[in-house]
Structure 1
C-alpha cells in the first residue's frame, strides 16, 4: 500500500514538474506578437484628442499614433481593440490585449494586477465646469455639494472624493457621456485631465471653463500584463527612446496644439 502511495506521489510530482516546465517554455508576449505579426492594442473610442473612432471605423488620435509607432518599431501590424475605461485593466488581465494605450494613469492600486511602463506624458486632473457656473475654485464647488461626473474605474474614482467629499458623484463609462451630462445640465462638472479639458473647451466655444486648482497629478503610461519582464523591458526602451528622440513632442504638438510639458517628475 505504501509503495502504491509512493508511486502515486511520484506521478503527481512528475505531472506538476512537467506542467511547470511547459509554462516556463511557453512563448512570452513579445515572442507571440512577433510570431503572429500583429500587436493587439486596447484604446479608447471617444477621448479626443487622445483617441476616437472616425465615421469610417478607423481610430485616430495621439494615443493611436503612439500605438502605430510601437507596431512599426516591432515590425508588426497594429490591431486595435476599442475599450472603455473599466475594460482597460481587464483586457490586459485576460490577455485579450498585449498593451493598453489609452490615457492610462499608472498607480499602485492598478499595479497590483497589471504592469506599466515609464510615463510618456504627465498631466493634472482638473474640474471642468459650464462657462456660467458660479464656482471659481474646487473648494467652492465642494462646499456647494455639486454633481460631478466621473469615469468608472478612472483616476477620478479616488481623486474626486478625496478633494471634494461633499460632492455628489455620477459615474459614466465614457468621457463623451460625462461631457454630454455637463453640457445638458445633468451634471454640474466633470473631472478629467487638463489636456482633455482644453480640447473640450476649444470644441465647445463659450460653453465650458476649468475651475482653479488641481485634483491629482497623473503619469500617463502604457499598460501591459503583469509578470512578463522581457515585454516590459522592450516597452520601456520604446518609451524612453520615443521621449528622448523628440517624436513624442512632435506628436503632442500635432494633436494638442501646444508644446508638451516636461515629463520628469517634480517633487
Structure 2
C-alpha cells in the first residue's frame, strides 16, 4: 500500500528530520535511540514556544527594537528539568528583566510535560493506593521519581473540592432518603483496618436522585447517623417524607430526633435478610 501524500507541514518536518540525522551522523537502532531523539525534539519545540510566548508578553520579538514600547526586556534563561515519557530533559525557560513573567505553557511549579499526570495520580489515590504505592507505580510505569510530599500536595488539591461538595446547600424537602453504610477494608498507617462509609441518597420532590453526602467512620453507629442528620438539617433540609434504613439499633430514634414527622421504612432487603436469621 502506497504511503499517503504528506501535508506541506509534515513534508517539511520529514526533510528536517532527514537532514538532522544525516548531518549529525545519527542512526536509529532501537527504541532508546527513538526516545533520545524525541526528547531532543520536544525540548526544541518547547523552548521555541516559550520564546514566542515571551515575545507576546513583551510586545516585540527578539532584536526588533524598533517596535519596543516597554522598558521591560529579556533576561537570559533559567534551566528546568522536565519529566517526560521519553525521559528527563532540560528546558531553557526565558526570563524578563522585571522578573514578573510566568510562562503559561510550562507553569511555575510544573515539572512534567504530561498534562494528565496529576489526573493519573488522583485516579490512583481515589482507588485506595497509598502515596508510597503511587510513588512506586509512577517509578515503574513512567520512570519518574515523585516524592510522597509531592503526591500529597497533588492529592490535597481535591480536599477543598470535596469539602465544598460536602457542605453544599440541599433541597428543603426530600420525598425519600436512603441511608446505609458500606464496610471496607482499607490500609491505614501500614495496617489493614475496617472502615464504614455512610451514604445518604435522596430523591427530591421532582423525582431526581442525588447523593446528599458520604462520610467515613470507624464503624456504623446510630450516634454517627445522628450527626449526619444534624448536618443535613444545617444544609437546608427541613423535612424528609420517608427514610429508608436498615435495622441498626437506635437508627429510627436518631432520625426522629431531627425529623420527628419522617416515616421510617426498613429496607426490604434487610427485612428479608433478618427474617431468614
Larger radius of gyration: 2
* TM-score bin (small chain): under 0.3
Return the TM-score normalized by structure 2: 0.20
Return the TM-score normalized by structure 1: 0.20
Of the two structures, which has the highest relative contact order with CA contacts closer than 8 Å and spacing of 6 or more? Answer: 1
